Amino acid sequence: MQVKSRLLAFLLCAFPVSVLAQAQSPTSSEMAAARQLFRSGLEHAEAGRWTDARADFERSYGLARVPVTLFNLAGAQAETGQLVTAAESYRRFLQEADEGRAARYRESAERALAELEPRIPRLRLEVNGLGEGDVLRIDDDEVSRAVLGVAFPLDPGEHLVAVVRRGDVVVDERVTLNVGEERAVTLLVPALQVRPAEVARAEVEAETTPVEVPPSRDEERSIARSPWLWIAVGVVVVAGATTAVVLATRDDASPYQGNAGVVRFELGGSR
């Protein structure tokens, strides 16, 4: 593969201190660790251990954002099937490598990117019946509805496309994409239905709503003829008379000096 041969040729270059000086400002310890990881990545790449090489280049670039490391990382990503990520790494390299030693490899990066892009599979997804709160997912990632109808780039291999509603998968489909393939997939989402629990709760609320029913004429006559009613009326009348007497007496009496508002009366005697 031409990308691999160009990568191996470039991997033989030492980790450039001059380029490190042009990047962001990592500490001296971070620079040393980045250089060590870069060299380890070279050894893995030369031995064909591309997964290990990718891991070391990723860590090295995370410590010191050196364009040459990014160039090598893009090649390792492409070799391990991460075609979409590799293409983005090449594009980022072209943005960063505008001067210095890294700029010498712009042409190599442009050729590698031009060869890589046609190999990237694409999925054109359509979804019918997508509800307002439904979530569209591809593999483990939530994706925007803006990707619908667009040739969406994905890595080669198997992918799971799903629609999630209220935390539950309502429809999904597994799709296997080959290198350079473009495939169209349409998902049919079932109509939104009210959950049984919501229906049951609505029915219970309707059944337990109190309804006032006016008494019938027979009930009114029965209450009027009840002896207990007249006994209660008599008690109320007597209580009212007693209260009136007590209140009248209280108005005529003067409170004791120093008493906390409590007045005592003695019937038939002097106060």
135-142 long-range contacts (CB < 8 A, ≥24 apart) are: 135/163, 135/164, 135/165, 136/162, 136/163, 136/164, 137/161, 137/162, 137/163, 137/164, 138/162
**Average pLDDT score over the chain:** 78
Task: Name the fold adopted by 2-119.
Answer: 1.25.40
Which pLDDT does position 248 carry in this prediction?
37
Please report the pLDDT score of residue 175 as a whole number.
98
Phi and psi angles of residue 231, each rounded to the nearest 5 degrees, phi first: -60, -45
Residue ranges of the chain with pLDDT lower than 50? Answer: 2-3, 5, 9, 14, 17-23, 229-230, 233, 235-271
Let me know if the fold of 2-119 is the same as that of 122-188.
Answer: no
Give the residues across from 182 on adjacent strands.
122
| Sign of the alpha-carbon dihedral angle for 249, 251, 257, 260 | positive
For residue 151, list its beta bridge partners: 124
Q: Of 159, 103, 116, whose CA–CA distance to 136 is shortest?
A: 159
The pTM (predicted TM-score) of the whole model is 0.65
Where do the structural domains in the chain lie, given as residue ranges?
A: 2-119, 122-188, 217-252
Query: Which amino acid would we find at residue 107?
Result: E
Distance CA(234)–CA(129), nearest Å, equals 74
Q: Among all chains, which residue has been given the structure tokens 């991997």?
A: 11
Of the candidates 143, 64, 131, the residue with the CA atom closest to the CA atom of residue 96? 64
Spatial distance between the Cα atoms of 2 and 115, rounded to a whole number of angstroms: 9
Q: Is residue 52 a contact partner of residue 79, using CB atoms and an 8 Å limit?
A: no
CB atoms within 10 A of CB 202: 11
> What is the fold, at CATH topology level, of the domain defined by 122-188?
Immunoglobulin-like (2.60.40)
Reading the block at residue 100, the tokens are 């210095």
What per-residue confidence (pLDDT) applies to 64? 95
Pairing verdict, β 182-188 and 122-128: parallel
Query: Which pLDDT does position 99 carry in this prediction?
Result: 83
How far, in Å, CA of 197 to CA of 242, rounded? 60
Position of tokens 């003067």?
Answer: 254
Rounded to whole angstroms, how far apart are CA atoms 262 and 256? 8
